[in-house]
Amino acid sequence: MNRLRMAVWMLLAGAPALAVAKSSTPVELLFAAEDDWYPYSGVRDGQAAGLTIDIMRAIYQQKGVVVRFQPLSYSRCMEVARTARYAGCFTTSRNDFYEPYYRYAQLPLLEGQISIYSRSNRPERDLDMKSLEGQEVGVVLSYGYGKEFDANAAIRKEYSTREVNAFRKLKAGRIPYVVAWEGTVNHMLRQNPDLRGWVRPVGKLAPGPVYVSFSRAHPDVERLVSRFDEGMAQLRKSGQLRQLESRWQTKSDN
């Protein structure tokens, strides 16, 4: 058993990594992290940063194991997560298309509200997914917005490579609606003053979970998945997850 597999086995078995700790060089567990979804997962000062980074570190970090995060675009993140070098990619959607290529834990990494946005001068309110049928709706390429929305062919999806680009199309009147996570939109509006006052939420979709897409090619994928579910359950029970969420809410408000 090589050093990485031994360290992961000890980590997931709940045993101290004594054999690993005796080495002067800790083993590395490498995850790809989305680089454009702050404050959940992004880049600050050249490093991966965000709420989900801290959650993943809390689940997997231990003595003798260094958890490293490589920030990448969403499409590149999903691509490298099909190799043995990376343990997985986050923050990602989960749907029938992805299931054969990635391994998923039972618990999501994060859950949040997906809202419907329109221009501030439009009168709509209390819209739902049915209201969007037959309409052009801005979304980000490769993102998931829940299985029902993703599979609804009656919604004419207008794709952008970044969320801010979808909102600029909305402001310009090229599309009537955008769907997006509230947390990322609130941060984006603070970072892009030209969009403030031009857009507002006009409805909601079902709350949306995001996941870690674990690499099926990684030699310890099943143990990594098991450890994720155990670690996430512990974070929820102990209150540490709420503490992390509160800390990042304060950061993103500043």
pLDDT in tens, 42-55: 999 999 999 999 99
What is the mean predicted confidence (pLDDT) over 166-188? 95
SS3 sequence of the chain: CCHHHHHHHHHHHCCCCHHHHCCCCCEEEEEEEECEECCCEEEECCEEECHHHHHHHHHHCECCEEEEEEEECHHHHHHHCCCCCCCEEEEECCCCCCCCCEECCCCCCEEECEEEEEECCCCCCCECHHHHCCCEEEEECCCCCCHHHHHCCCCEEEEECCHHHHHHHHHCCCCCEEEEEHHHHHHHHHHCHHHCCCEEEEEECCCEEEEEEEECCCCCHHHHHHHHHHHHHHHHHHCHHHHHHHHHHHHHHC
What's the whole-model pTM score?
0.84
Q: Which domains does the chain have, with CATH numbers?
A: 3-110+210-253 (3.40.190.10), 114-204 (3.40.190.10)
**pLDDT score at 13:** 53
Please determine, for residue 19, whether its predicted confidence score (pLDDT) is greater than 50: no
